[in-house]
Amino acid sequence: MKKFFAIAGVIIFTSLLGCSSSDEVSGRSIRSAYKSVIFIKRHLPADQQVEFEVSFWTIRNATPKDKDLLEKVGGKNPTEIIEMAKAIYQERKNAGAKEYQEFASWNQMIAKFSQERIEQTRHKKSDARDETNNVMYKL
């Protein structure tokens, strides 16, 4: 009986491992898609994180229905997501979308957003409550 449970456990574990891929966006539900995007972004190199995040939200803004979004991004890896977003960017830029006209290219837009992200982290204001809740005691 112990052997049966051990074998069943191994089979279930390997089947669960085979069903999920850590470098692909989940297409099961919108919640799982968002979670997988966060997971993928955290495990990308730092220089690709902003581009991946902007890419996903570009696709999300172009696809208002959750079901359609899941069909588009489900099972896609970061490179495929970025390529899809570049196509949407170019399509919207050619159509005269105001928010894309200030950028000469996709790379320029990503560079601007990356710089903004750096500035946000650099100028983070400290909270006054942090100073009063100091755990460092004077001995």
pLDDT at 11: 56
Residue 76 lies in a domain: yes
Which residue bears the tokens 């899809």?
84
For residue 51, tell me if it sits in a domain. Answer: yes
Quick one: pLDDT at residue 15?
A: 45
Using pLDDT thresholds of 50, 70 and 90, give the confidence band for residue 137.
Answer: low
- CB-based contact 18:54 (threshold 8 Å): no
Three-state DSSP class for 95?
coil
Task: For residue 135, tell me if it sits in a domain.
Answer: no
- Which candidate, 26, 82, 75, places its Cα nearest to that of 56? 82
Q: Read off the pLDDT of residues 44-97 as tens digits, 9 standing for 90 and up.
A: 998 899 999 999 999 999 999 999 999 999 999 999 999 999 999 999 999 999
pLDDT score at 118 = 85
Q: Is the residue at 13 inside a domain?
A: no
CB of 27 within 8 A of CB of 71?
yes
12, part of any domain: no
Tell me, yes or no, whether 42 lies in a domain. Answer: yes
Domain-located, residue 8: no
Give the domain extent around 68.
21-114
Burial 78-88 (b: 16+ CB within 10 A, else e): beebbebbbeb
* pLDDT tens track for 9-51: 545 544 444 445 678 999 999 999 999 999 999 999 988 999 9
DSSP single-letter state for residue 101: T
Structural domains counted in the chain:
1
Instruction: With 0.95 as the threshold, say if the pTM is over it.
Output: no
Mean pLDDT score across all residues of the chain: 84
